[in-house]
Amino acid sequence: MKNNDLILFENPHFIVDMMYARRNNMVGRAVYVEIGFGNKAYVHKKVAEKLLSIVPVLEEKNYKMRICDAYRPPLAHSKLLEIIPRAGFFAANPERSNHCHGTAVDVCLTDIDGNNLDYPTQIDAYEEKYSRQVAAGNFDEFFNHLKKARHDYTEASDLQIKNREFLKNLMETHGFSSIEHEWWHYNIADFALYPLAEWKNGEFF
């Protein structure tokens, strides 16, 4: 197994719920299960360190953090691109995806019982009706809906904006960077500084 400095992340303050290991996601398929990867959150060790540094805040607030994506095998990324090939949702290729380098996580906060806090959208801006449209090759309504995922979207409720901003401040304070068009996505540094992690049959190479 090649050493990509990736580790399996498990901690009781975090809920591992990889959205591409289940069918209720924007592509409507459990792609991670299809390739044998399953519901596992591998991250670069530096990501793990930064996530663990958040634990005192989670304990203080009686929150948990739901991890809906972390390391993404390049094979899975290619399959996701086949379903949504339109630019602006998935990175153009695995080499340009922070997830495929193990340097990104898609997250939200939950209460202590695992119920998600309220945000302007679900993670990945998932809604079943848009997922069905995407499966049929119709992307326009979904991409219009995606504007609600931006950090500068203001037509949400006060609570949704408050929760979004609290998460952003929390993650950036603990060493993560955000991207303007997805409130749930956080990564460390530049993916080019870290090797692309290939995965097959339970091994990294």
Q: What is the pLDDT along the chain (205 residues), one digit of tens a residue?
A: 456 899 999 999 999 999 999 999 999 999 999 999 999 999 999 999 999 999 999 999 999 999 999 999 999 999 999 999 999 999 999 999 999 999 999 999 999 999 999 999 999 999 999 999 999 999 999 999 999 999 999 999 999 999 999 999 999 999 999 999 999 999 998 888 999 999 998 888 8
Based on the number of CB atoms within 10 Å of its own CB, is 193 exposed (0-12), middle (13-18) or buried (19 or more)? exposed
Structural domain for 123, as ranges: 6-204
Reference 105, options 166, 11, 203, 17; nearest CA is: 17
How far apart, in whole angstroms, are the C-alpha atoms of residue 90 and residue 182? 11
Write the single-letter amino acid at 142: F
Query: Helix or strand or coil: residue 87?
Result: strand
Sequence length of the chain is: 205
Pair type for strands 63-69 and 14-16:
parallel
User: For 45-74, b where at least 16 C-beta lie within 10 A, e where not — what string?
Assistant: eebbebbeebeebbeeeebbbbbbbbbbbb
Whether 1 is in a domain gets the answer no
Does 16 map to a domain?
yes
CA 45 to chain centre: 17
| Count of domains observed in the chain | 1
Asked, for residue 34, whether it belongs to a domain, the answer is: yes
**CA angle, corner 131, sides to 129 and 135, nearest 5?**
120
pLDDT of residue 205: 85
- Do the strands 6-8 and 14-16 form a parallel or antiparallel pair, or are they unpaired? unpaired
Q: What pLDDT, on a 0 to 100 scale, did the predictor assign at position 3? A: 61
For residue 147, being part of any structural domain is answered with yes
Instruction: Evaluate whether residue 63 is within a structural domain.
Output: yes
Closest of 86, 183, 180 to residue 141, by C-alpha: 86
In-domain check, residue 42: yes
pLDDT at 1: 43
CATH of the domain at 172: 3.30.1380.10
Contact criterion met (CB below 8 Å) for 107 and 136: no
